[in-house]
Amino acid sequence: MPTGRTLIVGVLNVTTDSFSDGGRWLRSEAAIAHGLELAAAGADLVDIGGESTRPGARRVPVEEEQHRVIPVIEALARRGVAVSVDTMNSSTAEAAINAGAVIVNDVSGGLSDPLMTETIIRLDAPFVVSHWRGHSSEMNNKAVYGDVVAEVSGELEYRVAELVVRGVNPDKLMIDPGLGFAKNSEHNWKILGHLERFTRIGLPMMIGASRKRFLGELVPKGAPFEDRDFVSAVTAALAAQAGAWAVRVHDITSTKAALSVVEQWKRGADE
């Protein structure tokens, strides 16, 4: 994958109940076609998930999760698409890596499945560690902070330290502040406004704000989810300006244009 610029990670939900596009790519053929579209539009990585993590979502049996995502990962990897797997299950992570995925993106940071850390160590797989306080059914009740920036960054830094002490290669770790996970709108904006605190952890940082509820508050009430793509692209650009390694988004075209502005802006400042 390219270096020296913020990467674009395209979201591919092979689910029935994801908040913005649940069911749209559930069939393998549709998911593969959309993954190819994301890559052709400029996604550096396609992040494939088979279990929704929206607030209130129910867990999906591991067998069903793998039935949804593994054929898609295999097909896209064969076509030269760089793929990550969005999963909290160690067995799915292992099956995905064996099928051609290059990164494991775990929104629980390895806390949901006690075997995840051991699996990542054995596979020596790149691992995105997100801030997490609990599953979708309970996370809204845990959105309680005195100082959200200090607490989220501190908890994330502590989790990274735990993983490294247990034997995970720190060179294979990336972080994600987990926008929307046990966080309300005010918390999300506070985190975005202080991303320098997270870059100080010293690991590549991914930001996943695309189409989330707090951005939906900036567009007319009742507007389709696609209407959030413009504000999502602006958020991605500001995250890139703040040092994000990658942005995880639904719409590649608007994000690519927004990140091009950031690159030209930086080039102009350097000349």
The set of catalytic residues is: 212, 248
- First-last CA distance in the chain: 26
List Cβ neighbours of 224 (8 Å cut-off, separation of 6 or more). none
Count CB atoms within 10 A of the CB of residue 253: 12
What's the token pair of residue 179?
């926008």
Give the residue among 3, 28, 1 at the shortest CA–CA distance from 14. 28
* Burial per residue of 69-80, b for 16 or more beta-carbon CB atoms within 10 angstroms, e otherwise: bbbbbbbbbeee
Number of residues assigned to the chain: 271
Q: Provide the pairing of β-strand 103-106 with 7-13.
A: unpaired
56: left (phi over 0), alpha (psi -120 to 50) or beta: left
- Please give the distance of CA 68 from its chain centroid, rounded to a whole number: 18
Distance CA 155, CA 128 (A): 15
